[in-house]
Amino acid sequence: MAFEEILEEVGGFGPFQIRNVMLLALPRILLPLNFLLTIFMAAVPTHHCTLPAQDPLNNLTQETAWLEAYLPRELDGSFSSCYRYLYPHSLSNTSQGEGEDPIVPCPEGWDYDQSQFHSTIATQWDLVCERKGLNRAVSTFFFVGVLVGAVIFGYLSDSTFWSVGVMLLALVGYLIRDWRWLLLAVTLPCVLGILSLWWVPESARWLMTQGRIKEAQSYLFRCAALNGRPQAREKLSIEALSLVAEREKTVRRPSYLDLFRTPRLRHISLCCMVVWFGVNFSYYGLSLDLSGLGLNLYQTQLMFGAVEVPSKMIVYLLVRYVGRRFTLVGALLGTALTVGAGLLLPSGLVTWRLVLGVAGKGFSEAAFTTAYLFTSELYPTVLRQTGLGMTNLVGRLGGSLAPLATLLEGMWIPLPKVTYGGVALLASATAFLLPETRHAELPETIQDVEKKRTLSDPQEEGMPMKVLQD
């Protein structure tokens, strides 16, 4: 008896498994709150250099006139955020000579608009102007931690609960305007998420490979009882499970090197690495950049979260009727095109910018959802978790670099979005090189994957693996 047959005996996917999914829902909802927290925690409100207090005897009593006296104008007509005149502009021409108005960085710090945020890490430590790179790096530091965690704790699967957390973040950020309390409100519920994991049973297969047969039997009994299959207890004796455990132990533990040993697996792995880097880079790049869409930060975040729900539903239909490859290619291409179109729009068309921005977020989420399904079907059973772990690792690297891309705006303001769109376009072209898996039986071994490499008829790509072997 194989372990897959044991799962069938205890009821397959039934109430026991559904209960476990529900227990995992809370941690999954809490994850995006932490992943995207810097949208609010590291937000940079409108600011300008701290100016001398207004002299009541001076005729420059109005606030706008006082700002005009000390702050130079940018090319777009706005007041400078990083520089000020050394002397009041209205007096400097007479005191220093025509055209000699000394402009200096903010010597006394900055004043911040508190109408939207009471406090953020940017206002707390003045992470603006020449120090803005440190503020942008906060997200990178977080994703580096996620990358390390992925290596240490392994691969964690995704589901539709992520989008709930993305929308919830907009509400939490709107209600809590101080970064310290916001951080506490987002991270404290993680304790409940951790506690909920105590009720999630250990993997019976893992227990058997570790020689803990009695514990595995106990979990399988509970699974059979909850799924309405009490008769399965007769086939779950210690002797029967020990034989299955011995068979599981004889399978060699795969390594990352196995993903590159054979030609077709090497092709799949390299393509998936590029795709996952592009998917993560574009998704988090667009998710963390909520500016220029005509709405406030909270409304934009809510719309970005809400669009993920129909996006996942559309993916569910497309992968069934169009295929995994074309769905992934189309989603990444849609991401690139909407980002590009948004850059070409005149600044006055705010509504269309919003439509394209939300559409781009929806496409990037569709690509993310499809990538998980598609990648898991490309790798054989013996390497599936290893392949997913490796591609997820590369994806986290893309997520780590996405926040730093915003620093490119110092060279050219549209350059960060050009980068997001360009990487998505590269990933789309790479995804087109992967084989379709719709209607194909999942490969069990490396040999199953390599056999498909020699097929002469492209239509046979979609045929079941068992038919090909016959």
307 close to 163: Cβ distance less than 8 angstroms: no
Token reading at 399:
């997520």
Largest CA distance in the chain: 100
Of 110-124, 176-190, 244-258, 354-368, give the lowest mean pLDDT range.
244-258
**pLDDT tens for residues 143-189?**
787 777 666 654 444 447 667 777 788 888 888 888 888 888 888 88
180-184: list long-range contacts, CB under 8 Å, 24+ apart. 180/119, 182/37, 182/40, 182/41, 183/37, 183/41
Q: Which pLDDT does position 57 carry in this prediction?
A: 47
CA distance 378 to 381: 9
Q: What is the DSSP letter of 112?
A: E
**pLDDT tens for residues 427-441?**
999 999 999 999 888
Identity of the residue numbered 403: P
Q: Is the model's pLDDT at 363 over the cut of 60?
A: yes
**pLDDT tens for residues 215-237?**
888 878 888 887 887 777 777 87
Q: Which pLDDT does position 267 carry in this prediction?
A: 95
315 close to 374: Cβ distance less than 8 angstroms: no
Q: Output the CATH code of domain 3-43+134-198+254-446.
A: 1.20.1250.20
Q: Report the chain's mean pLDDT, rounded to a whole number.
A: 81
* Integer CA distances (angstroms), 114 to 45, 84, 111, in order: 7, 21, 9
CA distance 49 to 323: 55
CA distance 247 to 2: 8
Q: Averaged over 380-408, what is the pLDDT?
A: 88
Q: Which pLDDT does position 161 carry in this prediction?
A: 63
CA dihedral 212, 218, 223, 225 (to 10 degrees): 160
Nearest of 141, 145, 73, 81 to residue 112 by alpha carbon: 81
**pLDDT tens for residues 321-352?**
999 999 999 999 999 999 999 999 887 788 89
More confident residue, 390 or 143: 390
Q: Which phi and psi (to 5°) does residue 111 adopt?
A: -110, 135
Token reading at 41:
């925690």
* Integer CA distances (angstroms), 399 to 147, 150, 315, 361, in order: 9, 13, 22, 15
pTM: 0.71
Q: Which phi and psi (to 5°) does residue 192 adopt?
A: -65, -40
Q: Which pLDDT does position 456 carry in this prediction?
A: 35
Q: Averaged over 12-38, what is the pLDDT?
A: 78
CA distance 290 to 166: 13
Q: What is the DSSP letter of 257?
A: G
Identity of the residue numbered 153: F
Q: Which pLDDT does position 78 carry in this prediction?
A: 84
Burial, 76: exposed, middle or buried (Cβ in 10 Å; 0-12, 13-18, 19+)?
A: exposed
419 close to 335: Cβ distance less than 8 angstroms: no
**pLDDT tens for residues 270-308?**
999 999 999 999 999 998 888 778 788 888 888 988 998
Of 35-49, 128-142, 164-178, 387-401, give the lowest mean pLDDT range.
164-178
174 close to 199: Cβ distance less than 8 angstroms: no
Token reading at 91:
């007096």
